[in-house]
Amino acid sequence: SVRMKRIRVGTFDFRHVPAMLNQEDSGTLAGKTDAGIIGNSILRRFDVIIDFRRWKVYLEPNSFYYKDFKVNCSGLRLALDSSHTRVLVSGIIENSPAEKAGIKKRDEVVSLDGRPVKTMSLARIKESLMEEGRVVKITVLRRQVKQTFTLRLKKLI
């Protein structure tokens, strides 16, 4: 993860935008001409109007336009398993609160602050790990044993 010094979308200018740069070896993101994807952190700041007849896209700033860019403050990379029923740790950012606490890749996250993650969307779980300074309790299942870890979230980039 890095912070881009500047990103320009049409006539709109953004500074210090957090970004994940492409490190894939295979699949759609492995192309040699792409460094990454500009995703929802940019697009959510606009109402997008597509004029198919004229082949034009219009961007109108909305209520999210001036909001801060949120970033992962836990160091956990999370993903759903193939059945979309379990939340797995797919990676840990070096020197992050998650690594320092002892959470490991392939742990299954079962609760966040005592609330079962099955009651939350993956997006909501990730969003709850973006508030710098917040203390969270994460319970994971590792080799059939539940373990609870306490993290103090901090900005990593």
Global pTM reads: 0.69
User: Which pLDDT belongs to residue 34?
Assistant: 54
CA distance 20 to 85: 25
- DSSP 8-state class, residue 39: -
Is-contact 156 72, C-beta < 8 A?
yes
User: Which pLDDT belongs to residue 24?
Assistant: 57
The residues of the chain scoring below 50 in pLDDT are none
User: Which pLDDT belongs to residue 32?
Assistant: 58
User: Which pLDDT belongs to residue 10?
Assistant: 84
Consecutive H or E run containing 122: helix 122-127
